[in-house]
A and B are shown apart, each in its own frame.
Chain A
Amino acid sequence: MTDLELKIKSIRYRKKLLRYIKQAGAGHTGGDLSCVDILNVLYNRILNVSPATFDDPGRDRYIQSKGHSVEALYVVLADRGFFPESDLETICRYGSHYVGHPTRKVHGVEQNTGALGHGLAFSVGVALAGKMDGATYRVYTLLGDGELAEGSNWESMMAAAHYQLDNLTAVIDRNALQITGATETVCRLEPLEQKLAAFGWSVHTVDGHDIPALSERLGSVPFQAGKPSAVIAQTVKGKGISFMENDASWHHRVPNDEQYERAQRELDRHLAEATS
């Protein structure tokens, strides 16, 4: 798939995830929009996994630690054929497996997440098992930046470096916001690159909305043999919808009818520009 095709996919993913959030009356709009390009690149270019190979022990793994951005994951998994997109009509409905955080009841989801600070430890375990078995699969996990205040992440960072898990890549959705406001105001995270490096990781920063740049970085792991790789993806919370961008109040806000129409029109305009 070309860069342009992926760019168009990203716009379509944004349209869909907004549609399902609107329909469900719930969802983590801001974070979905900040990480959807990362998911796009991972699932359409990087990960060696498909609905047919999901039970294969040698498949690549994607573990979404920031489980609240589940609508982005659902939309991408549906597009990859893990389940019919019509399933997403049931998000957050009584009796549906499509709840507001990922669970293994949904085909394509590796691990139940939602409480923060859990995905990295699990990913370390999967990567470690790969090393023990001499397997060649790679493990990717997506962390929120607000999530990094959970101390459990730093326990796992230590272990990943200690066991030289160069089959493990942690992508950090660095949108610089969390529910309360700026990460730097809530509880300072910077200097993040130095922190990760000091914990023994090989770190690169990338524009988290730049499809070619993301593809290049995520496809060139490990950055250093014997070290886990960290990708700080600089993103914009609410990316793609002008009035949602960089506004923490959209963390889990659902657009009203007027906002929804405006958002879809903006995305249609992006789509027209991209395809012209």
Chain B
Amino acid sequence: MSFVAGEALGRANLEVFSETLLSLAREDRNVVAVTSDSRGSGKLATFAKALPDQLVEVGIAEQNLVGVAAGLASAGKCVFAVSPASFLTTRAFEQIKNDICYSDRPVKLIGISAGVSYGALGSTHHSTHDLAALRAVDNVTIVVPADNFETAQAIKSAARMSHPVYLRFGKRALAHLHDPGARFEPGRALPVRDGTDVAFIATGETVWPALMAARELDTHGLSCRVISMHTVKPLDVDAVISAATDCRAVVTVEEHSVFGGLGEACAAVLMQAGVPVPFKIVGFPDEYLATGSQLEIFDHYGISAPGLAQTAQMLLARGG
């Protein structure tokens, strides 16, 4: 049976992360996980039991988490610093900037329950700023995997990277988007489907709704491209430009503020390359965020099959 993207439901990226990390750590005792009372939310309880000597717990202290991770890495450890994305990138932002990026310590910063994964817990727990904040910091790769395959590959790639990397993902079960034979490479977007009318350039957990929107637009006779832009920095510039030249409109989608994230990164590429195209950034506006579950918040801001289909049609109507 051939693979159809978006058909089969997989698991949460979080589970794939913890499983992949455990297998890496079993093979290499230099692999160390550092947690800030986050082994439960990071699904690392099994890791902690299986490899207690490879887990460092620092308590609820994200600044220390990141500083300690830098020190461990300097002494040759392959360090995964695991904490909710919001706390990791906000509370410890200066440690990330100085101790990791500026000092070039190859720590793997793992932002769990990213974006609005915590849903109704509210804005303290959301990370809708992290991509913007870290895009402006020199020397960090930013990866937002969209499905289980991308997550496993991204974790394995991160383990091999000799420079800092930030990976963020959520905890909801996601559909499989890629044939297991696909080739994952940081900095190279993964196509989910091809098309010539509208291109959806999406990242992380918004790729699936973008794919569903593309399916819906099929029924209107529109051919839509869907790209998983798993690496937000460095951006796959070629994929962005060819999407804008091959298609009549481009819609970017992200679980993040519309300020400073994937959308603005793509806009900057197209503007500077002189590629004019009807273009829309879908994400969270600059406002007190709607409350509810992750999917309710997605729906509220049009990160859904009907919402994205409507946005695409509007762009085309405007003269795509």
* Residues of chain A at the chain B interface (Cβ within 8 Å): 57, 103-104, 110-115, 117-118, 120-130, 132-133, 135, 151-152, 155-156, 158-159, 162
From residue A41, how far is it (CB to closest CB) to chain B in Å? 23
Q: Can you list 15 contacts pairing A with B, beta carbon distance less than 8 Å?
A: A57-B75, A112-B99, A112-B102, A112-B103, A118-B99, A121-B67, A121-B71, A122-B68, A122-B99, A124-B67, A129-B72, A133-B75, A155-B61, A155-B63, A159-B58
Task: Say whether, besides A132-B53, A158-B59, A118 and B98 are in contact (CB < 8 Å).
Answer: yes
Bin chain B's interface residue count: 20 to 34
* Residues of chain B at the chain A interface (Cβ within 8 Å): 32, 53, 56, 58-59, 61, 63-64, 66-77, 94-95, 98-99, 102-104
Task: Report yes or no: A129 in contact with B99, Cβ–Cβ below 8 A.
Answer: no
Task: Report yes or no: A155 in contact with B74, Cβ–Cβ below 8 A.
Answer: no
List, in ascending order, chain B residues with CB within 8 A of A126's CB.
71-72, 74-75
Task: Report yes or no: A125 in contact with B67, Cβ–Cβ below 8 A.
Answer: yes
List, in ascending order, chain B residues with CB within 8 A of A128's CB.
56, 68, 71-72
Task: Report yes or no: B70 in contact with A125, Cβ–Cβ below 8 A.
Answer: yes
Task: Report yes or no: B103 in contact with A104, Cβ–Cβ below 8 A.
Answer: yes
Task: Report yes or no: A118 in contact with B95, Cβ–Cβ below 8 A.
Answer: yes
A111 to B99, CA, bound (A): 8
A159 to B68, CA, bound (A): 9
From residue B138, how far is it (CB to closest CB) to chain A in Å? 12
Q: Which one of B56, B64, B76, B94 contacts A156 once the chains associate, using CB atoms below 8 Å?
A: B64
Give the nearest-CB partner of A124 in chain B.
Answer: B68
A158 to B71, CA, bound (A): 16
Task: Report yes or no: B94 in contact with A121, Cβ–Cβ below 8 A.
Answer: no
Task: Report yes or no: B58 in contact with A115, Cβ–Cβ below 8 A.
Answer: no
From residue A100, how far is it (CB to closest CB) to chain B in Å? 14
Q: Which one of B53, B76, B98 contacts A129 once the chains associate, using CB atoms below 8 Å?
A: B76
List, in ascending order, chain B residues with CB within 8 A of A114's CB.
98
Give the nearest-CB partner of A126 in chain B.
Answer: B71
List, in ascending order, chain A residues with CB within 8 A of B56's CB.
128
A129 to B53, CA, bound (A): 11
A109 to B58, CA, bound (A): 26
A115 to B98, CA, bound (A): 8
The winner among A103, A124, A132, A135 for most chain B CB atoms within 10 A is A132
From residue B148, how far is it (CB to closest CB) to chain A in Å? 31
List, in ascending order, chain A residues with CB within 8 A of B70's CB.
111, 121-122, 125
A159 to B59, CA, bound (A): 8
A121 to B58, CA, bound (A): 10
A113 to B70, CA, bound (A): 12
Give the nearest-CB partner of A111 in chain B.
Answer: B103
From residue A254, how far is it (CB to closest CB) to chain B in Å? 25
List, in ascending order, chain A residues with CB within 8 A of B94's CB.
115, 118
Give the nearest-CB partner of A137 in chain B.
Answer: B75
List, in ascending order, chain A residues with CB within 8 A of B59's CB.
155, 158-159, 162
Task: Say whether, besides A111-B103, A158-B59, A159-B61, A121 and B66 are in contact (CB < 8 Å).
Answer: yes
List, in ascending order, chain A residues with CB within 8 A of B71's CB.
111, 121-129
From residue A184, how far is it (CB to closest CB) to chain B in Å? 25
Task: Report yes or no: B58 in contact with A155, Cβ–Cβ below 8 A.
Answer: yes
Give the nearest-CB partner of A135 in chain B.
Answer: B75
The winner among A111, A113, A135, A162 for most chain B CB atoms within 10 A is A111
Task: Report yes or no: A111 in contact with B74, Cβ–Cβ below 8 A.
Answer: yes
The winner among B68, B76, B99 for most chain A CB atoms within 10 A is B68
Task: Report yes or no: A112 in contact with B75, Cβ–Cβ below 8 A.
Answer: no
List, in ascending order, chain B residues with CB within 8 A of A103's CB.
102-103
List, in ascending order, chain B residues with CB within 8 A of A162's CB.
59
Give the nearest-CB partner of A63 in chain B.
Answer: B71
List, in ascending order, chain A residues with CB within 8 A of B104's CB.
104
Task: Report yes or no: A159 in contact with B95, Cβ–Cβ below 8 A.
Answer: no
The winner among A57, A121, A158, A162 for most chain B CB atoms within 10 A is A121
Give the nearest-CB partner of B94 in chain A.
Answer: A115
List, in ascending order, chain B residues with CB within 8 A of A112's CB.
98-99, 102-103
A115 to B67, CA, bound (A): 12
From residue A115, how far is it (CB to closest CB) to chain B in Å? 5
